[in-house]
Amino acid sequence: MLRAAASVHYGIATTSHLGGLPAIAQPSTRETDNSLVKGFARDLKAACDDLYDEPFNPGARETVLRLLKASGIADAAYARLHSTPLRINP
């Protein structure tokens, strides 16, 4: 049973250039990176918990693989927050 449908999507508000509509304030890069890192960690933990509960569930496996394929964005945000490049040993 999948507890969470881990979907990695992090929207960034943009300024409206349409007449009469108010502009939406953009979050700072640090706030955006922090939100992205926390969201990725939460989604990955939920997906791993699902896989642990049901190791032969193809949906749980696919979710973990999809998150790992998208991890480069979260890795870059983490590195910016901590001002150190994240080293991954092959």
Q: What is the pLDDT of residue 83?
A: 81
- CA dist 56 and 58 (Å) reads 6
pLDDT at 51 over 80: yes
Length, in residues, of the chain:
90
pLDDT tens digit string along 11-24? 433 344 455 655 56
3-state secondary structure labels for all residues of the chain: CCCCCCCCCCCCCCCCCCCCCCCCCCCCHHHHHHHHHHHHHHHHHHHHHHHHHCCCCHHHHHHHHHHHHCHHHHHHHHHHHHCCCCCCCC
* pLDDT: which is higher, 10 or 48: 48
* pLDDT: which is higher, 20 or 33: 33
